[in-house]
Amino acid sequence: MQDPNAPMVDTGPDGPIYSLDGGHHWFEGEPPTAPPAEPEPSARREYEAAPTPSVADIVDPGPRGPVPPTPPNPLATLSDTFASSSKVLAESPVIAELPALATYYGSLAEGADDFTISTQEELTAVGAAATKLATDLSRVDTTRTDITKPINAFKRGVDAAFAGALAPMKKVDAAFRREMRAYNNAQLAAAPALMAEGKHEEALAVAPPVMAEGISAAVTWSWELTDPSLVPAEFLTVDTAKVAAQVRLLKGQCAIPGIRVYPDTQIRVAKS
């Protein structure tokens, strides 16, 4: 009969291991002939598998050691972000010109939809006006981005500061919803399966899941594609990206039934 107090021997990743307490703690090497003194923590390697967390562990995790110190507020470093935006607002001459530019180009925009060029002289005049417009457009848009760039950087900083809390919260929320949904779907699928087997009374006895207080479940119908060749034409859409790529490749030689391919001029204007 085997001595219940005898060491347990096994093979670990790096060689033989042994246990003196029935397999609760394992140590490297051969078992000693006499109970050894407790080894130093730095010289001991324990082979213990971390237990899989249960629903109770997740819902009510309880204490997990000392509370770590509160990290510094990441938003505090963003306090001076708006300084450059405020400077542009106070000093840029474009800010003062905005009302006049809006009035001038607003009057031109009113007739833009009906605007046409009929002569060479009109083409030359419009070309000169277009270069002035390109310069004004660049000045206005550059000033706008000089103001909004620091503001956007501030927003990115705020998003990053909150991400440390929001990311794990959203991950846990998704896991909760996934498992509640899977359980509900399994319960809902039980009744049709029983009905198909002819177990009508059992199917009628399947009760809807009882949700916790504050949680509700709405049943909707979804779908998945099983055979594209069987889908009716009215449920198909044109792949516009694939059509555009084919037109760019073949240009005037492109011929696709049901689609008209035509040339379109793009105008590039240099700044004055």
- Asked whether residue 38 carries a pLDDT value surpassing 70, the answer given is no
- Asked whether residue 246 carries a pLDDT value surpassing 80, the answer given is yes
Give the model's confidence band at 48: pLDDT under 50 very low, under 70 low, under 90 confident, else very high: very low
- Asked whether residue 46 carries a pLDDT value surpassing 80, the answer given is no
Who has greater pLDDT, 81 or 207?
81
Whether residue 135 sits in one domain with residue 21: no
Handedness of CA 8, 12, 16, 17 (dihedral sign): negative
Domain-located, residue 151 = yes
- Asked whether residue 144 carries a pLDDT value surpassing 70, the answer given is yes
The C-alpha atoms of residue 24 and residue 47 are separated, in whole angstroms, by 9
| Average pLDDT, integer, range 8-36 | 63
Whether residue 44 sits in one domain with residue 87: no
- For residue 205, the model assigns a pLDDT of 60
- For residue 21, the model assigns a pLDDT of 59
Whether residue 123 sits in one domain with residue 36: no
Whether residue 41 sits in one domain with residue 117: no
Whole-Å CA distances, 41 to 37, 44, 130, 197? 12, 5, 78, 61
Give me the percent of the chain exceeding a pLDDT of 70: 58
Who has greater pLDDT, 137 or 63?
137
Domain-located, residue 213 = no
- Asked whether residue 189 carries a pLDDT value surpassing 60, the answer given is yes
The C-alpha atoms of residue 203 and residue 190 are separated, in whole angstroms, by 7
- For residue 27, the model assigns a pLDDT of 62
Whether residue 243 sits in one domain with residue 123: yes
Give the model's confidence band at 36: pLDDT under 50 very low, under 70 low, under 90 confident, else very high: very low
Residue 27: Cβ-neighbour burial (10 angstroms; 0-12, 13-18, 19+):
buried
| Average pLDDT, integer, range 75-93 | 77
Whether residue 17 sits in one domain with residue 91: no
Domain-located, residue 66 = no
Mean pLDDT of the chain, nearest integer: 76
- For residue 41, the model assigns a pLDDT of 46
Domain-located, residue 233 = no
Count of domains for the chain = 2
Whether residue 156 sits in one domain with residue 28: no
Whether residue 165 sits in one domain with residue 115: yes
Range with the lowest mean pLDDT among 46-50, 120-124, 223-227, 259-263? Answer: 46-50
Whole-Å CA distances, 78 to 73, 75, 83, 156, 206? 10, 5, 10, 10, 57
| Average pLDDT, integer, range 9-31 | 65
| Domain containing residue 35 | 8-50
- Asked whether residue 88 carries a pLDDT value surpassing 60, the answer given is yes
- For residue 264, the model assigns a pLDDT of 82
Whether residue 148 sits in one domain with residue 44: no
Domain-located, residue 200 = yes
Based on C-alpha coordinates, what's the Rg of the chain?
36
